[in-house]
Amino acid sequence: MVGSYANGAGAGGGKNGAAERKLDELRRRLGKAEGDPLRIAGVGAGAWGSVFCALLQDAYGRDHRDKAQVRVWRRPGRAVDRATAEHLFEVINAREAVLRRLIRRCAYLKYVEARLGDRTLYADEILRDGFCLNMIDTPLCPLKVVTNLQEAVWDADIVINGLPSTETREVFGEIGRYWKERINPPIIISLAKGIEASLDPMPRIITPTQMIANASEFFAELSLLTVSG
């Protein structure tokens, strides 16, 4: 499993204190006032993006909710097929900590019903319980999942781009329209891999961070970081 929460264990006093100090320093650098949480939004919920946000949630969003909030956007409506639902049920029942967590959250019954074919599960629904459709065998910690893009990003201080490079330009073009009235631009961390090739006005390669920068005039002043393998 990914993260101490998914394993049913605490983060530990020393580790927890170090994480809080780092969080306080970041909040100070971003000018966050006391009582105003740092808002982190993940855009895209594939394996890499989900794990990245789950690690942030496990390190900061669980024990320091008054200082940091993590949410993830993914498109709604993707159904979990019957075979995957059956396998997910086996994964849950093979991990006592996960099983107990779902029972405490009153979320176990829907997985029983899906296993029997009496209910359809959806990718955004199971991600809230800590299951990414791209990596069912590796439970994560529960995440706050938002299916409305504007709601997910409009007040974010940090945005994590977990989209494929083929979707980055389109989605950030839409995000740019939501941010036109913003005074303080957010930090964007891009996890996207892949490139585009362009022949106009001359042959060149376009990276995901360049796609974001070119998606809207708003992004010209942003801090763009890349985390990729």
Q: Which residue has the higher pLDDT, 40 or 177?
A: 40
pLDDT tens across 3-26, in order?
554 444 444 455 678 888 999 999
Q: Which residue has the higher pLDDT, 41 or 62?
A: 41
Domain positions in the chain are 13-76+146-226
Exposed e or buried b for every residue in 176-201, given b needs 16+ CB within 10 A?
bebbeeeeeebbbbbbbeeeeeeeee
Q: DSSP per residue over 123-154, as a string?
A: HHHHHHTT--TT-TTS-----EEE--HHHHHT
pLDDT tens across 59-84, in order?
888 888 899 999 999 999 999 999 99
Instruction: Write the DSSP symbol of residue 79.
Output: B
Superfamily of domain 13-76+146-226: NAD(P)-binding Rossmann-like Domain (3.40.50.720)
